[in-house]
């Protein structure tokens, strides 16, 4: 799988350096000074000029040589303070979003891996934007750092690569960020999840890596005809190839697969869809996350009603599948799944309305 480079030359920023890179960058300093810098950035989570153990002149030098990648453009709070969304402006003025979600026993940060997305899923707000460029590893790591600074004592316990972009289309930088989150920030691999629309080569590369992080697949349809419409990458790697890659990942990592399913009224929320999904999930021992479709300006279809979501989940359970209805978070601040978009760039694509179930001749699997 060949990656396109970032579309423009970007300056090196603060969290492009892990412990090893800092050692090389600051090689003329004593080792204990390098350790103090690393401690300040990754443990104390402070700016270089705030590392109190360093002399003032060194702090000033580091402030210039280790600039931040993210500048806050907008900060929105929803769910009585339990959901926080940032719109960040990068060094080239590109815009990305990050969402922090507090739960009773954990805090999860959802980070972006690209500016925009090239996958073309019409119901996704980011997909409606088109693709601009890949994020650097430092830009990804800094999103987590900023969220941890906000979380304070509540501590970020989980990181999900489910924000803007397709992480596996930016594999090398994404994986560098994963390794840094694990090695420098101390996050367990089991608390890191990488989500993909189904880039089979990337899934197979994940399976070969030393860190057994979790894999989530944005499925949304369990027959190729419908998935070709909803998730265009399926035309390149259809469901059979996707399933084979997911089995390889499970066999090598032992991590249970998660399947994400955005419920779209009269499109993928009928009994036949439940039958196809249950069959696919059972064959992989996967867990299903059901997500009512969130509204986006460039997509005409509606999310399934709460009653239809409940019936769909019940049908899956009766078919022996393991499914959970995901609680929608941050809808009022455009922070829920499928709504991540740079709100300052109003470029929604007008999607073609999908045929309803009554217009298609689908049948359940044998």
Residue identified by tokens 């934007």 is 129
pLDDT at 7: 45
Residue 199, classified by CB atoms within 10 Å of its CB into exposed (0-12), middle (13-18) or buried (19+), is buried
**What CA–CA distance (Å, rounded) separates 145 from 69?**
11
- Phi, psi (rounded to 5 degrees) for 91: -65, -25
Closest CA to 45 of 33, 35, 37: 37
pLDDT in tens, the chain (366 residues): 445 445 457 789 999 999 999 999 998 999 999 999 999 999 999 999 999 999 999 999 999 999 999 999 888 888 777 899 999 999 999 999 999 999 988 999 999 999 999 999 988 888 888 899 999 999 999 999 999 999 999 999 999 999 999 999 999 999 999 999 999 999 999 999 999 999 999 999 999 999 999 999 999 999 999 999 999 999 999 999 999 999 999 999 999 999 999 999 999 999 999 999 999 999 999 999 999 887 777 777 889 999 999 999 999 999 999 999 987 765 665 655 545 554 555 544 433 344 444 444 443 333
From the candidates 21, 97, 166, 229, give the one annotated as an active-site residue.
97
Tell me if residue 35 is catalytic: no
From the candidates 110, 117, 124, 337, give the one annotated as an active-site residue.
337
pLDDT at 182: 98
pLDDT at 301: 80
What would the two tokens of residue 229 be? 């419409």
> Residue 141 to residues 39, 260, 323: CA-CA distances in angstroms?
15, 24, 31
> What is the CB neighbour count within 10 angstroms for residue 252?
14
**Model pTM above 0.95:** no
Tell me if residue 150 is catalytic: no
Domains of the chain, CATH where assigned: 17-65 (1.10.150), 71-350 (3.20.20.70)
C-beta separation of 50 from 173 below 8 A: no
Strand stretches in the chain, DSSP E: 71-78, 83-89, 95-102, 107-110, 114-116, 131-134, 158-161, 192-196, 214-218, 258-263, 287-292, 322-325
pLDDT at 345: 57
Closest CA to 229 of 53, 67, 352, 97: 352
Closest CA to 286 of 365, 222, 202: 222
């Amino acid at each position: 799988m060949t990656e396109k480079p970032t579309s423009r030359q970007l300056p090196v920023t603060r969290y492009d350096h892990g412990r090893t890179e800092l050692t090389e960058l600051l090689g003329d300093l004593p080792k204990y000074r390098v350790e103090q810098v690393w401690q300040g950035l990754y443990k104390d989570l402070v700016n270089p000029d705030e590392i109190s153990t360093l002399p003032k002149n060194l702090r000033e030098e580091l402030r210039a040589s280790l600039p931040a990648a993210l500048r806050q453009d907008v900060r929105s709070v929803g769910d009585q303070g339990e959901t926080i969304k940032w719109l960040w402006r990068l060094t080239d003025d590109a815009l990305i979003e990050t969402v922090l979600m507090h739960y009773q026993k954990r805090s999860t940060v959802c980070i972006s891996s690209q500016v925009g997305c090239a996958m073309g899923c019409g119901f996704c707000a980011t997909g409606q934007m088109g693709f601009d460029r890949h994020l650097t590893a430092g830009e990804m790591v800094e999103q987590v750092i900023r969220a941890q600074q906000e979380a304070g004592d509540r501590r970020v316990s989980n990181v999900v690569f489910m924000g803007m972009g397709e992480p596996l289309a930016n594999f090398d930088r994404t994986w560098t960020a994963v390794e840094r989150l694990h090695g420098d920030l101390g996050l367990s691999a089991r608390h890191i999840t990488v989500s993909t629309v189904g880039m089979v080569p990337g899934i197979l590369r994940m399976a070969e890596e030393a860190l057994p992080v979790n894999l989530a697949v944005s499925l949304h349809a369990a027959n190729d005809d419908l998935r070709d419409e909803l998730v265009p990458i399926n035309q390149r790697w259809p469901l059979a190839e996707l399933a084979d890659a997911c089995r390889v990942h499970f066999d090598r990592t032992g991590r249970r697969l998660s399947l994400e399913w955005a419920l779209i009224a009269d499109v993928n929320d009928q009994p036949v869809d439940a039958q196809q999904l249950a069959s696919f999930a059972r064959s992989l021992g996967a867990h299903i996350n059901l997500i009512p479709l969130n509204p986006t300006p460039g997509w005409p279809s509606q999310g399934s009603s709460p009653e239809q979501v409940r019936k769909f989940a019940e049908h899956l359970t009766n078919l022996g599948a393991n499914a959970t209805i995901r609680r929608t978070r941050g809808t009022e601040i455009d922070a829920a799944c499928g709504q991540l978009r740079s709100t300052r760039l109003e470029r929604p694509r007008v999607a073609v309305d999908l045929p309803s179930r009554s217009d298609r001749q689908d049948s359940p699997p044998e």
